[in-house]
Structure 1
Amino acid sequence: MKYFLILLLAVAFFIISITLGSSNDQVITFNYLIAKGDFSLSSLLASLFGVGFVLGWLVCAIFYLRTIVSLKNARRKIRRLESQLGAEGKETSDSTSLVTTQNKD
């Protein structure tokens, strides 16, 4: 729910920026590394905001997936160690019962 509200806030901010930018028809020259382009201010703001938003979500998704993978690896390791501990505990109880029966004889 928290992430949905953040997404809703970002979309509202995007819509407000498009609305305010649409009234500004000023054309500016945008010099990016490869070339130059003449864009209206509103379209440039909207496209750069969209690119930044998508890049931010991609970075967050990469970190989230890394966390999920490390969590799965940790759970697998815990299961393996618990099974080893259970097998050692069973061997210990078998040898303990064998020793107690030999001592009774």
Structure 2
Amino acid sequence: MKRIVALLVLALVFIAALALGSQNGQTVVFNYLLAQGEFSLAALLGLFFGLGFVVGWVVFAILLLRLKLENRALGRSVRRQSRELDAMHRPEAAKE
């Protein structure tokens, strides 16, 4: 349910930005590495907002993957140590 609400809010923000951007016809000169071009300010803002969003998600996904792998390794370590503890306590129970 939270995801649906979040997606709905994101869609509404995107639609509002699109509506406002369509009313702004101002063009700007954008100098990039090899050349320059004249672009709509709304298009450039949308492009860089989208790129920032994608880069943020990629960084988040990499960090999440790293944490999941670390969690899996720690889980294996806990299971291995638990088996070792069980093996250590079994002979004591048999002696009593």
Shorter-chain TM-score category? 0.7 to 0.9
1:32–1:7 Cα change, 3 Å? farther
The letter for the 2-side match of 1:53 is F
The alpha carbon displacement at 1:8 in A equals: 3.3
Is 1:92 the counterpart of 2:88? The answer is: no
3-state DSSP of counterpart to 1:25: coil
Q: Structure 1: where are the runs of 5+ without partners?
A: 98-105
TM-score normalised by the chain length of structure 1: 0.77
Superposed, 1:1-105 pairs within 5 Å as 1-94=1-94, 96-97=95-96
Structure showing greater relative contact order (alpha-carbon pairs closer than 8 Å, 6 or more residues apart): 1
1:51–1:4 Cα change, 3 Å? farther
CA deviations on 1:4-60 (whole Å, 9 max, x unpaired) are 433433332222111101111111111234432211112112111111111111111
How many angstroms apart in 2 are the aligned matches of 1:37 and 1:25?
Answer: 16
How many angstroms apart in 2 are the aligned matches of 1:68 and 1:4?
Answer: 25
Pairwise CA RMSD of aligned residues?
Answer: 1.8
Contact 1:26 1:41 (C-alpha < 8 Å) held by counterparts: yes
Which structure has the larger Rg?
1
How many angstroms apart in 2 are the aligned matches of 1:3 and 1:66?
Answer: 23
How many residue pairs match? The answer is: 96
TM-score normalised by the chain length of structure 2: 0.83
Q: Structure 2: where are the runs of 5+ without partners?
A: none
- Taking every aligned residue pair, what percent have the same amino acid on both sides? 41
How many angstroms apart in 2 are the aligned matches of 1:50 and 1:11?
Answer: 13
1:4–1:69 Cα change, 3 Å? farther
